[in-house]
Amino acid sequence: MNRHPVPAGPPGTTDRWELVSAGRALAVHTGPMPAGVWDRVVPHLPGVTEPPQPHPDPDHSSPVVHLPEGAGVGDVRRLLNAHLHLLHLAAECLALHAVAVERDGVAVLLLGGHGAGKSLTALALAERGWRVLAGDVTLLDTP
């Protein structure tokens, strides 16, 4: 069990959210929790640039994930990452463990295992005029 459980919000706190990753929506149903929890989760979700919006009654046109009550922040992040990965695969988009950098309209993926130096290499390239597009996980649309 994760040692950092998601704190419960007051009764009536929104427990349905819409999370958007690279233009693809995922409905997230939770037990009551404050919106501030998302600040600790969103930075670790690929393609997500904004916190999810409260969505009291989603139309269910988006896939739905139910977060278990008492799940820790790390567990929430891993569960959402898994669902987002499936959502992207269904749209022929790969989620790669890679850093993406770009310069002069040319993008390069830096691939490697944990600790291989992808982020350090991207920082060095950024100092030399490259723009970092994605860190840790890169979404790649396939034709």
The domain locations on the chain are 16-91, 95-141
Residue 103: pLDDT above 90? yes
User: Dihedrals φ, ψ of 77, to 5°?
Assistant: -60, -45
* H helices, E strands: number in the chain: 3, 9
Mean pLDDT of the residues in the chain: 82
User: What's the rounded Cα separation, in Å, for the pair 20 and 43?
Assistant: 13
More confident residue, 4 or 114: 114
- What pLDDT shows up at residue 8? 45
Average pLDDT over residues 48-53: 85
- pTM for this structure? 0.73
